[in-house]
Structure 1
Amino acid sequence: MGLSTAIFMPLAAMAQSAAVAIPEEKVQAVVVYGKAIDPNPNGQAGAPYKAKTSGDARHTRPLAETPQTISVVTKAAIDDSGFTDLKQILNAQPGITLGTGENGNAFGDRYIIRGQEARSDVFVDGLRDPGMSTRESFAIEQLEISKGPNSSFAGRGTAGGAINAITKQATLDLDFTRFSLGLGSDHQKRVSVDVNKAMGDSFALRANALYGDEDVPGSAPSNRSRQGLALSGLWEINKDLNLTLDYYGLRTKDQSPTLGSYLVGTVPNRVPATNVPVYAQADDFLSSNVDTVTARINWKLAPNLNLTSLTRYGQSSNGYVTTGASSGTRYDGATGTAYTTGYLDNGHTGWQDVDYFAHQSNLRWDKQLAGLKHEFILGAEYTDHKVVSGNYGLSNTGAFNCKTTAGIGTNNGYCFTNSNGVAVSDLHNLAGRTSTRRSWNQDWHVKSLALTAMDTVDLTDKITVFGGVRADHFDLSLVRRNNLTGDVTGDYSYQDTLLNGHVGLSYKINKLGMVYASAASAQDINGGEADSGTSSGYGGAVLYQNQIAGAKPETSKNLELGTKWNLLDEKLLATAAIFQTTKSDVMEGANYDTVGTFNTGKNRVHGAEFGLTGNMTDKLSGQIGVAFLKSRVLDSATATNIGKPLSNFAEKSYSAQLKYQLTDAFSVGAAARYEGQRCGGQPDTAAGFNSAGYCAQPVPAFTVFDLSAAYRFSKSLDLRVNVLNAGDKDYYTAVYRSGSFLYKGDARAVRLTLNYKM
C-alpha cells in the first residue's frame, strides 16, 4: 500500500481538484429469475457460458467492446465439460495446440497459441505465474485467453497471446456452501468444496478445497492425484477501501506418467505405433507443489479515481522422471537374431525450485478532457523471479533382455518383447529404475520493473480509441554449473529495456455490434525461458564467445480486424476476426546446445477466428469457436527452412460445447473438438519436412466427441454425467521432434458428479 500510495497519491489530489466531475452511472436493478446466483463478478447474468467483463481491471470496457480477441471459458463451462486440468481445458480451445516436454523440460503444461510458444505466458489474476507446473481449475472463476502479441499488458514474451486465470474471491454479496463428489471409471474419485461466508458487514471468507485421484483413462497403472486448498479473506474497511488476502496451495503428482506412444515407419508412411503397452516405469513421476500468498487492495481515492494493487509471494517445486520409448531393430544376445520391437530409452529427468515476488499497481482515472471522456490506466509493476533447477541421477537394477548392436554378445537394452515376439511379463518394472535428486546445475534470475500507460477515449458516441504503452526494464542472470563436481561452467548476465504498444479503434454500428481494428507488439528476450538454460533449440539462451549479450529482442507485431455483436439481450456474443502476426529477429537454435544464431529468423502467421458464446435460445447455450491459420517461415539461417510452416502448428481447429435444457430439471450436452494435422520440429521454427515435402514427425488430425447429461432433483441437489472421448478415439496431441514421444489423449472415461448446494 505504501508503494502504491507513493506512486499515485499526487494524481489523487489532481482528481479531487478537477473542475469537471463525471456523473456516476446508474446501476440497473437486479432481477432474479429463479436461477442460481453466479458469484463470478465478471459473469453475464442469465448466461452461464458468457463473461461480460474481464477479470483484469485494465480492460475498462466490457469484452463485447474490447478491440481484441479475448476468449473466455467460465466456471460453468469448465464444470459442464468434465475437464479439470488447464491442459485439458485449453486443448479444447481453437487456435491453441499442446507441445511435449521436449526431452529435458517436461516440468508441466506447455501451450502454443497461434503457432507461438506460450509456456511462460500463463498469468494468475494478471500476474505472471513463473515456472512450468501442472495447473488445476478448482479455484478458477474464469479462464481468459488473449490472442495476439500482448506485451503492453503482460510484459516480455506473449508473442502469440497470454492465458490469465481469474481466481475465486471472497464476497459479501451472498453466502453459499457447495459440495461436489465425483466417481467414475478408471478408479476416478474427486471431492471439492466451495464455501463463502460473510461475517458481519465488513468481513468475508471463502475456502475451496480439492481431493482428486484417478488412473489415466486407458493407461493404467499411470495415475494422477491432485490436492488443493485456496483461501480468500475480504475486509471491507469502508465503502471506498477493501483488502483481500489469498492463499493458494496445490499438490499434484502423476505416478508412472505415460508419454503415450511413438512414431514408426518412414515417410510418407510414418504413423503412430498401434497397441503400444503402457511402458512407464514404476518409479517414474511428474509432480508440482505450489504455494502462493497474494494481497489485493481496491481503493476509491476519489469519485473518479480508483487504485487496484496486487502483491504476491510464491514458491513452487516441480520435478519429473519419465521414460520414453521407440521402435526399431534389436538383437537377441544369445543367438544374434534380429527383430523389431519397442524398447525403453535411458530416461529423462529434471527438477526446478521457483521463488518469486511481484507487485502490480494500477490507477484508473476517469477524466473529461476537451469534452471527451477518458479512462486512463497508469500502472507500475515490479517482479523478482528466481528458478533454480537440476536433474536426477538414474540407476537400473533390472536385467537387460536385448542387445542394441548386431551379433551375439551381452545384452545391454530393455525391450518390450523377445526375439519370438513374446511380451515381457512385467514391463512396468522392466528396468528396475530408481532416481536420486542431484544438486543444482542452473540458477536463472530475472528482476524487472515496468511502467504502463493506457487510455480509452470516446471520440464520438460511435468511435472509441484505445492506446497503451509499456516499458519493461529487466536484469537477467544465468549461472550454469556441473552438478557432479560443482564447477561453474558459465556465468551470464545482461540487462535491457523493452518498449511495446497496443492501439485499437472501434466503431459502434448500433447498440448491438461494433467493428474494430487493432495493432499490438510484443518482445521476448534472449534467455527468457527459465526451463531451457542454454538449450538454444528450445528457446534457451544463445551464446557467442561465451557471452549471452548481443541479441536484439525477438519482436512480434500483430494487425487485426474484427467485429463483435452482443445479441439476444446481451446473452450471446458473436465474434469474428482476421489477423496477421509477424515475428522478426528470431533467435534460432542449431541444436539443443548453446550453438545458435542471433536474430536470423522471421515468420508470419495469419488467419481468421470465429466465436459464438452464450445463450442461443431460451433452452440452448454453449460456446463455439473456429480457427483457420496459416504459417510461413520468411527468413532463416537455414535456407531450406524458408517457406515452410511452423512446427507444432495446426492450420484448422474448432470446438463446440453445447447444452440443451430439455425440461426445468433435465439437460443434455455434447462437445466436439477437431485439430488438424501438425508436423513436429524445434519450437518456434520450421516444421520438420524433408526434401520431398513429407513431414518427418507427423501428428494426425483428430476429432473427439464428449457427451453429458444433468438432472436437478431440487434447488440444492443435482447430478451430472460426463462421457469423455465417447467414441474411445485414439488421438495424439503433440510430438517430440525425433518422434520418440507422441503424447496420446485420454481414452474413454465416464464421470458422475453429485453437486449439493446450501
Structure 2
Amino acid sequence: MRPLRLTAALASAAVCAISAPVAAMEGEAGADAPGDYLPSDILVVGQRDGYATDDGSSGTKTPTPLIDVPQTIAVITENQLDDQGITQLGDALRYVPGVSLDTGEGHRDQVFIRGQASTADFYLDGLRDDAEYYRPLYNIARVEVLKGANALIFGRGGGGGVINRVSKVADFTQPALAFDANVDSFGAFSLGADLNQPLSASMAARLNATYEEFDNARDFYEGRFIGVSPTVTVNLGERTHVSAFYTYDDDRRVTDRGVPSLNGAPLTGFDRTFFGDAAFNESESVAHIARLRFDHEFTDGLVVNFTGQFADHDKFYANVVPASATATTATLNGYTSGTDRQNRILQGNLVWQAAFGAIESTFLAGFEIGGQETDADRYNIAFANNAASVTVPLARVLSIPAARQTTIQRGSSSQLDTISGYIQEQLDFGPVQLVAGLRYDEFDLDTVNLVSGFAAGRTDRKWSPRVGLVVKPQESLSLYAGYATSFLPQSGDQFSVLDATTASLAPEKFENLEAGVKWSVNPSLFATAAVFRLDRSNTRAVDPANPGLTVLTGESRVEGFEASLVGRLRPEWQVSLGYTYLDGEIRSATTSAPAGRRLQQLPRHQASAWTRYDLSDRFGLGLGAVYQGKQFASVSNAVTLPDWVRVDAAAFLDLSERFALQLNVENLFDRDYYSSAHGDNNIQPGEPFSVRLGLKVKL
C-alpha cells in the first residue's frame, strides 16, 4: 500500500498547486433534457470546447453533473480524439489508465477494465453493443469508460466497468460541411466527411462517412473499412423530439495474431514477421445498426424517453496462429469461425425532478426488453498431409504450407431473451446527496449444440442494488462513497452455447466498493481521485472432494487507486493526465488457476499524459506519453510482457479559416514494446516510429 499512499499524496499536491493560478473559463454544456445523454450541444466543425466535460448522465440516466456521480468515469472528448489522430476505439483506450487491451484474436475489441476481461461490455448511446468487432469512431462524439460494477444502469456483465460511445447528432443552428484526409508513413490512409444540414425549423440531418485503408509495420498486414452513418432529428413541437440513427460498418482486414513467446517473454527479433498465412488469414465484419429514439417532456421536471434498436452483425474470420516457439522454430495451428447475430432492444425511461421543501429529488424508473439470436460455428484447419499443426523454421518470412478448412469443431444456435426493470432515487439535501437504486433482470437463454445435438436452457433472475453517498463541502468539490453489484451468467459474455455444467450453475457475482473525491477546479478543469475494491465470486472451480464435479467457490479481488486531471490549465493549454495502481489476485482456486496467482494483463502501474499548447491562434503543439507496467500475458503467469513507455507528438497549423494541417507522430523515440496479448502465444508488438499527415477542410 506504500506506492498507493505516495501516489495519492503526489496527486493531491499537484492538483492543489495547479488550481491557484488557473482562471475560470467556460465549460462544456451538459445534456439538454433529463435522461438525454445524446449531447445536442456538439457542433459539426470548429468547436474547441476542450478535453473536459461536466455531463455525467450516462452514469445515472438522469441529468446529473459528473461531479455528483458516485463512481469513476473517464471521458475522452471528440476534441482529444481529433488532436491525437485516433479513429479506432482500441487506440483511444490506451490513454485510459485502468484499461488494458487484449489483442482480441486480431478481429475484435477486447479489454480488461480493473482486471476483468470482456468482449461484450460495449454500449452505444447507453444501449448494449456486444457483438465481436472493431468499433470505429468516425461518427462518435465522445467515449466514456464507467468503471466498477454497473448492473443498475447497464444490466448483466460490466463487472469491471463498461465502455459507452456517444453518437454525433444533428445540429439545428447552422449548416456545415467538413472533409478530412490523412496518410501515414506505412501507406495507410483515410478519407472522411461530416455534413450537417438544418432542413427546416423543426428538422435537421447529419451524415458522417469514412473510407480507410489499413497498413502498419507488420508484414502482409492490410485491410479496408467503409462506414456510413446518417442521423435525423425532428422536433414535434417544443416538448417532443424524435431522433433516427443508422450505421453501416464494413470492415475487412488481415487477421494478425502477433508473435509467440519464448522462455517466459515475447519472442524478440521477429516483430515484423507475420505468423500466419497471408492468403488464409482474413477477417470480414459487416454491421447494420438502426436506432429510433423518442423524447417527450410533460412538464419542466417530468420527461420520458423510449429507444428501440436493431443490430445485425455478420462476421467471419480465418487464421493460422502461433502456438509456441523455440530458438529456431515456430509451431502454428488455427481455425475458422463465423457468427451471425441479431440484437433487438427496447428501452424506456421516466425521469421526474421535483423539490420537497429544501430537498430536491430526481427519480428514475425504466425498463429494457431485449432479444438476441446467434448462430455461430468454428471449423478446424489442416496443413499438408492433414496435419492440424505445422512447425517451421524461424525467418523474416515464414515458409508455411497452405492451410485449408476441414471438419467442424463446434456449432451452436442460441436465443436470448431479457426483461429488466429498474428504479433509482437521487436525493439532494444540499451538502449531502444520496443515490440508491435497484434493478431486476430476467435472463432466459436457450441453446442447441449443432455438433452433438445437446439442447439446454437456463433462466436467471437477479436483483442488482446500487447505493452512493456524495458530500459537497462546496459546490465545486464532492467526496463520495459507493457500492454496486453486477452479475454474469456462467455461459460467458457472448452466450453462444450451454453445456451440462453451465446450464445449471448460478451466475458469477461482482461487488464494487469505491470512495473518492471529484473537484471542478474551474468549469474547464476537472480532477478526480478514488480508491476501490472489486470482488468477483461464484467463479467455477473443481470440487476438491470430487474432481469430476464443478463448484462455485472461485474468487478474485482487485484493489486500486486512480487519479486524473483533465481540462484547461490556461486558455491555450489543455491536458489529460491519469494514473492507476492495480493489485489483484486469485483468492480461491478456479478451474484455470490456483489461489495466489496474479490476474492476467493487470499492470501494477499505468499512467498517461497528453497535452496541447496553442502558441498562437493558428499554431499549436501536442505531446503525450503512455506508461504500462509489466504484466502477465495470461493467468498461467508463465509469460511476462515487459513494461514500456511510448511518447507521441503532434503539431497543428490552421492555414486559414477553412484549411488546417495536422501532423501526428506515434512512438517518437522508436521504442520496442509489446502492447497487448491474447494468451501466452499471441502477443502484439507495438507500432514503431510512424508519422501521419492530415488535412482538414471546412466549407
TM-score normalised per structure 2: 0.89
In 2, the alpha carbon distance for the partners of 1:287 and 1:251 equals 8
Aligned to 2:567: 614
TM-aligned CA distance change 1:561 to 1:393, over 3 Å: closer
Matched residue, 1:491? 455
Match of 1:264 in 2: 262
| 8 Å CA contact retained: 2:521, 2:527 | yes
Counterparts of 1:246 and 1:438, CA distance in 2: 38
- Correspondence list, 1:270-669, <5 A: 270-276=265-271, 277-283=273-279, 284-326=281-323, 328=325, 340-369=327-356, 371-392=358-379, 394=381, 396=383, 413-416=390-393, 423=395, 427=398, 430-435=400-405, 441-459=411-429, 461-482=430-451, 488=453, 490-530=454-494, 533=497, 543=499, 546=500, 548-568=502-522, 570-588=523-541, 597-637=550-590, 641-669=594-622
Contact 1:68 1:518 in 2 (8 A): yes
Letter aligned with residue 702 of structure 1: W
Secondary structure of the corresponding residue to residue 172 of structure 1: coil
Distance in 1 (CA, whole Å) between partners of 2:548 and 2:559 is: 30
RMSD: 2.7
Structure 1 equivalent of residue 19 of structure 2: none
2: distance between equivalents of 1:666 and 1:41?
Answer: 29
Counterpart Cα distance in 2 of 1:648 and 1:588? 21
Q: Does 1:139 align with 2:139?
A: yes
* Counterpart contact for 1:159–1:523, Cα < 8 Å: yes
Q: How does 1:684-703 map to 2 (within 5 A)?
A: 687-689=635-637, 696-703=638-645
**AA aligned opposite 2:672:** D
Which residue type is aligned with residue 562 of structure 1?
Answer: G
Deviation at 1:63, TM superposition (A): 0.8
Match of 1:709 in 2: 651
Residue in structure 1 matched with residue 662 of structure 2 by the alignment? 720
Q: Which moved more, 1:146-155 or 1:42-51?
A: 42-51
C-alpha change, 1:210 and 1:547, in structure 2 (3 Å) is: same
The CA deviation string for residues 234-253 of structure 1, in whole angstroms up to 9 with x for no partner, is 11111110111110110111
CA distance in structure 1 between the partners assigned to 2:470 and 2:645 by the alignment: 36
The structural deviation recorded for 1:601 is 0.7
Task: Give distance in 2, aligned partners of 1:235 and 1:415.
Answer: 61
Tell me the CA shift for residue 746 of structure 1.
Answer: 2.2
Q: Does 1:94 align with 2:35?
A: no
Check 1:670–1:467 CA distance in 2 against 1; reply closer, same or farther (3 A cut).
Answer: same
Specify whether residues 659 and 437 from structure 1 end up closer, same or farther in structure 2 by C-alpha distance, changes over 3 A only. farther
Distance 1:351 1:32, change over 3 A: closer
- 1:108-123 alignment, distance < 5 Å: 108-123=108-123
| C-alpha spacing 1:589/1:230, structure 2 compared with 1 (3 Å) | farther
Is residue 54–residue 144 contact of structure 1 (8 Å, CA) maintained in 2?
no
Does structure 2 retain, via aligned residues, the 8 Å contact 1:304–1:366?
A: yes
How far apart are 1:530 and its partner, in Å? 1.9
**AA paired with 2:432?**
I
- 1:337 is aligned to none
Amino acid in structure 2 at the alignment position of 1:464: Q
Counterpart-to-counterpart distance in 2, 1:108 and 1:639:
23
Q: Which amino acid aligns with 1:235?
A: V
Deviation per residue, 1:1-29 (Å, 9 max, x gap):
xxxxxxxxxxxxxxxxxxxxxxxxxxxxx
The answer to whether the aligner puts 1:754 opposite 2:695 as a matched pair is: yes
Aligned to 2:67, the other structure's residue is in SS state helix
What residue identity is the alignment partner of 1:161?
Answer: G
Q: Which letter does structure 2 place at the counterpart of 1:116?
A: Q
Task: Report the secondary structure of 1:51's partner residue.
Answer: coil
Q: Deviations over 1:570-610 (max 9, x none)?
A: 110000111111111122489xxx98733111111111100
The 8 Å contact of residues 608 and 624 in structure 2, kept in 1 or not, is answered as yes
1:279: Cα distance to partner?
3.1
Give the gaps of 5 or more residues in structure 1.
Answer: 1-29, 34-38, 330-339, 405-411, 418-422, 534-540, 682-686, 690-695
Q: How many residues align?
A: 657
Which residue identity does 2:392 align to in structure 1? C
**Partner residue, 1:78:** 81
Asked if structure 2 preserves the Cα contact closer than 8 Å seen for 1:387 and 1:530, the reply is no
Structure 1 residue identity aligned to 2:54:
K
Query: Shift in Å at residue 433 of structure 1?
Result: 2.9
Deviations 1:663-714 (A, max 9, x none): 1111000111111111133xxxxx324xxxxxx1111111111110000112
Alpha-carbon shift at residue 359 of structure 1 (Å) = 0.6
**Distance in 1 (alpha carbons) for counterparts of 2:101 and 2:319:** 18
Q: Quote how far apart the aligned CAs of 1:261 are.
A: 1.3
Residues 757 and 641 (structure 1), Cα distance of their counterparts in 2 relative to 1, 3 Å cut: same
In the TM superposition, what whole-angstrom CA distance separates every residue of 1:83-126 from its partner, at most 9, and x where no partner exists? 21111111331001122446xxx641111100012321101011
Q: Distance in 1 between matches of 2:476 and 2:42?
A: 18
Mapping of 1:225-240 within 5 angstroms?
225-240=224-239
The one-letter code matched in structure 1 to 2:243 is: T
Secondary structure of 1:292's counterpart equals strand
- Give the fraction of aligned pairs with identical amino acids, expressed as a percent: 25
What stretches of structure 2 of length at least 5 have no aligned partner?
A: 1-24, 29-37
1:564 Cα deviation (Å)? 0.8
Task: Go from structure 1 to structure 2 and tell me whether the alpha carbon gap of 1:288 and 1:55 turns closer, same or farther (over 3 Å shift).
Answer: farther
Mapped partners of 1:107, 1:258: distance in 2: 8
- Gap change, CA 1:395 and 1:559, over 3 Å in 2: closer
Rounded to whole Å, the distance in 2 between the matches of 1:634 and 1:549 is 25
Provide closer, same or farther for how the CA distance between residues 746 and 494 of structure 1 changes in structure 2, counting only shifts above 3 A.
same
- Counterparts of residues 171-182 of structure 1 (less than 5 Å): 171-182=171-182
State how far apart, in whole Å, the 2-side matches of 1:416 and 1:547 are. 42
Q: Which segment is superposed worse, 88-97 or 364-373? A: 364-373
Residues 716, 660 of structure 1: CA spacing in aligned structure 2 closer, same or farther, 3 A cutoff?
same
Q: One-letter code of the match for 1:731?
A: Y
Instruction: State the distance in 1 between where 2:26 and 2:629 align.
Output: 44
Change in Cα spacing, 1:450 to 1:114, as seen in structure 2 (3 Å) is same
Q: Secondary structure at the match of 2:50?
A: strand
Gap change, CA 1:122 and 1:639, over 3 Å in 2: closer
Say whether the 8 Å CA contact 1:364–1:376 is kept in structure 2: yes
Q: Alpha-carbon deviation of 1:275?
A: 2.7
Q: Structure 1 residues 50, 511: CA separation in 2 closer, same or farther (over 3 Å shift)?
A: same
From the superposition, tell whether residues 445 and 731 of structure 1 become closer, same or farther in structure 2 (CA, over 3 Å): farther
Maintained 8 Å contact 2:51/2:574: yes
What is the match of residue 677 of structure 1? Answer: 630
Residue in 2 that maps onto 1:218? 217
Offset of residue 366 of structure 1: 1.0
